[in-house]
Amino acid sequence: MLPIQLIPYFQYTVQAVIGVLLLALKSWESGQRGFHGAAVRVDPDSRVTPWLVAYWFMVVIRGFRHAHGMLMRWYDLSGIRSLGDAGEMEEAAGYVSCLGWKTKIIQWVLIEPPISRYSIQTRRFLFGVPSQGRSRAGPFSRRSFPV
């Protein structure tokens, strides 16, 4: 059984990451661009930066895109289209809406069902890549440099 409350190599829980991304979407809906609005709305002791929120956003979008076919078995995702880089916020808003995550304070009870279903069915994490899924020939391995 996977620890579905966690994202591999993340210091923060899935609930914290999704909560901050909901703040980012709320800022975007009010006309703000970038991720600064979300970063300043969390506890300063959490050390969340706009760059970190942008990174989380990309990891979550990739997870949703990768799991889209499987999630369609349980949720109506027919209105979600990948619009490329220009439409990633709209795409994220679509997933959030379809999964019922549009609340002021996101609770684990709302987040857990799609993550559990996906993890049980595939034996993979919905968000992030664990060490066994990463390439052994990383950017600094001997094989990545010409000999």
Q: Which residue has the higher pLDDT, 61 or 146?
A: 61
Predicted model pTM: 0.82
The one-character DSSP state at 92 is H
**Length in residues, the chain:** 147
Torsion 108-104-42-85 (CA) sign: positive
Task: Report the pLDDT averaged over residues 66-90.
Answer: 85
Q: Two tokens at 18?
A: 């999704």
At 85, the pLDDT band (50, 70, 90 cuts) reads low
Is residue 20 classed as helix, strand or coil in its secondary structure? helix
Q: What pLDDT score was predicted for residue 118?
A: 93
- The HSE-up count of residue 126 (CA atoms within 13 Å, CB side) is 27
Q: What is the largest CA-CA distance in the chain?
A: 55
